[in-house]
Structure 1
Amino acid sequence: MPFFSIIIPTYNRARLLERTLASVFTQEFTDYEVLVVDDGSTDDTEDVLARHSGRVRVLRQQNQGQGVARNLAIQHAVGTYAVFLDSDDLWFPWTLSTYLQAIDMYVSPSVVMGTVASFGREEELASVSQEPFRAWAFTDYLASAPEPFIRTACVIAVRLEALRRVGGFTARRIASEDHDLLFRLGTEPGFVWMQAPIVVGYRQHDHSSSRSLEQSHQGLRFQLEQEQGGHYPGGASRRRDRLTLILRGVRHVTRWLTEHGRPDLAMDLYRRSLGAHLEVPRWRYLLGFPPWMMAASLRHLRR
């Protein structure tokens, strides 16, 4: 059995997928399997995957979104840890060995999260080097709530048994489905955040799923609803940790929505999170966001 199951969902990214796979095949640590889920692609994805026959396990489904695609791979994976990689992102040769170092050092934590370097052109990653290992360990994911680092599924390794225990990803087509998963993994024992070295090159382009305004709104709305319905673990004693993480996302997304011309969606999230923000409380945001939103909306209209 391989130690890592590398899970790559893809949809109509044949050219980028080729580069992503190339970054996997240069890994220093080689005890892994690669599962690519073709989420109903209509481009040359099938041809790309055929060229890597024998090195990649290919799963196919009708187009249902990243969450369902990842869940299909989780069902078929046989590794001890699942590692998620988006089909437009890149790894460095030390990526898997760095995850392994954290797993060994901190005695098999449930979740390990790394750090990304954003790029538009691949040449920009030339300056990224393998810095000395630095990491922070927590009793579980929720305990990391005070730390404001970037959290996303493209930089996590998760014990496969824990993934299956919490049911994997939501099937909804929303942004931040990875944050929802992390909340459901929130009390699984052991969480490590690796500050260095950087382990993922995160490609920024117009087709990145995180850039969908409505899906971003729906993702945060879903998290608020899940919290309100008591669907996340930890009970009342961990509510502040959960709210710290959820509301940090709300504040970021409401500003982003406003700056991109959707103050209606921003205000909807503001209203839905009002009670939670009062509970924490976050007075600066509560009092400052409405007038800031109005001013930002006027600036957007004048462009």
Structure 2
Amino acid sequence: MPLFSVVIPTYNRASLLEETLASVFAQTLTDHEVIVVDDGSTDGTLALLARYGERIRVLRQDNAGQGVARNLGIREARGEYVAFLDSDDLWPPWTLATFQRVLQEQGRPTLVMGRARSFQAPGELSDLESGPLVARSFADYLASAEANFIRTACAVAVRTEALRRVGGFSAKRISSEDYDLLYRLGVEPGFVFVESPVTLGYRQHPESSSRDLDRGYEGTLFLLSQERHGAYPGGSMRRRERLALLLFGLRHVTHWLLEHGRRRQALTLYARGLRFHRALPRWRYLLGFPPWALATSLRPRR
């Protein structure tokens, strides 16, 4: 059994996938398998993957979205942990070795999350360095609610058994399926955030799913619905921690929508979050967001 199963979902990214795979094969730790899940690509993806032979396992499905593709990879994974990598992102050579060291030193936590560096051209990552290792340890993911760092399932390694037990990713085509997974893993024992070194190069380009305003809006509504219907673990004892995480994300998305002229969507999310903010008020946001939204609506259009 390998330590890691590297799961890479892809859809029509043949032009970028080769760079992503090169970063995996450049890892200093070789105790891993590589699984690429093709989500019904219509470009040259399959031809590209065929060139790698037995170095990778290729799984194929009809186009169903990134969450479904990742879940297929989870089902087929042979490793103790699954490390996720998107098909347009890059790992520095020390990523898996860093995760391995954390697992060894921190008693095999369920979840390890790394820090990302955004880039547009790969050369922007040339100044990254492999150390020193600086990591923050928590009893579980919810216990990190007040910690200040950027969270993403694009830069994580998760115990395979735990992923299967919580049901993997949502099948919905939303941009918050990673946060939904993290919340459902919320009370699994052991969470470590790696502050240093950087373990992911996160590519910024116009097709990045994180830039899809509608999916961000729908994803945030979905997370609120999940909390409202008790889909996340921890019960009433851990509710404040869940809300701290959920509402931080909601505030970010409402500002993002408003900055892009989506006033109605931003105000809808603001209103949907009020019942939760009553339990965990952030008065600067609660009192300041409505007049800011009104002011943006009165600005002359260019």
Report the TM-score, using the length of structure 2 for normalisation. Answer: 0.99
1:131 aligns with 2:131: yes
Q: Identical aligned pairs, as a percentage?
A: 61
Instruction: State the Cα distance separating 1:18 from its structure 2 match.
Output: 0.4
Residue 302 of structure 1 deviates from its aligned partner by 2.4
The one-letter code matched in structure 2 to 1:40 is G
Determine if contact 1:259/1:297 at 8 Å carries over to the other structure: no
Tell whether 2:68 aligns with 1:68.
yes
Establish whether residue 200 from structure 1 lines up as the match of residue 228 from structure 2.
no
Corresponding residue SS for 2:189: coil
Match runs of 1:139-288 below 5 Å: 139-288=139-288
- CA offset at residue 297 of structure 1? 3.7
- How many residues align structurally? 302
Q: What amino acid is aligned across from residue 280 of structure 2 in structure 1?
A: V
Amino acid at match of 1:119: F
Please state whether the residue corresponding to 2:59 is helix, strand or coil: strand
Structure 2 letter corresponding to 1:157: A
Query: Which residue type is aligned with residue 235 of structure 2?
Result: G
Alpha-carbon offset, residue 34 of structure 1: 0.5
- Look up the match of 1:8: 8
> Which residue does the alignment assign to 1:94?
94
**Could you tell me which amino acid in structure 2 is paired with residue 136 of structure 1?**
R
Cross-structure match for 1:115? 115
Q: Please give the secondary structure, in 1, of the residue aligned with 2:60.
A: strand
RMSD (Å) for aligned C-alpha atoms? 0.8
SS where residue 171 of structure 2 aligns?
coil
- Partner-residue secondary structure (3-state), 2:232: coil
Amino acid at match of 1:302: R
CA distance in 2: counterparts of 1:68 and 1:258, whole angstroms: 30
Unaligned runs of 5+ in 2: none
Deviations 1:53-77 (A, max 9, x none): 1111000001100000000011100
Could you tell me whether the CA contact under 8 Å between 1:115 and 1:196 is conserved in 2?
yes
- State the match for 1:23 in structure 2: 23
**Secondary structure in 1 matching 2:202:** strand
Q: Which position in structure 2 is the counterpart of 1:106?
A: 106
CA distance in 1, matches of 2:297, 2:80: 49
Query: Are the equivalent residues in 2 in contact too, given 1:166–1:185 (CA < 8 A)?
Result: yes
Is 1:302 equivalent to 2:301 in the alignment?
yes
- What do residues 249-300 of structure 1 show as CA deviations (whole Å, max 9, x unaligned)? 000000001111211111111010011112101111111001112223444x
Give the residue type in structure 2 aligned to 1:89. Answer: D
1:108 alignment partner AA: R
Runs of 4+ off more than 4 Å: none
Return the alpha-carbon distance in structure 2 between the equivalents of residues 295 and 108 of structure 1.
50
Q: C-alpha deviations, 1:10-54, integer Å up to 9, x for none?
A: 000001000000000000000100000000101110111011111
Cα drift, residue 171 of structure 1: 0.4
Following the alignment from structure 2 to structure 1, what is the Cα–Cα distance between the partners of residues 91 and 296? 37
- C-alpha distance in 2, partners of 1:274/1:127? 43
The alignment's TM-score, normalised by the length of structure 1, stands at 0.98
Indicate the SS of the match to 2:83. Answer: strand
> For residue 48 of structure 2, what is the amino acid of its counterpart?
V
d(CA) in 1 for partners of 2:139, 2:268: 34
Query: Given the superposition, is the C-alpha separation of residues 205 and 161 from structure 1 closer, same or farther in structure 2, using an over 3 Å criterion?
Result: same
> 1 CA distance for matches of 2:259 and 2:297?
7
Q: Tell me the distance in 2 between the aligned counterparts of 1:152 and 1:170.
A: 15
CA distance in 2, matches of 1:25, 1:260: 39
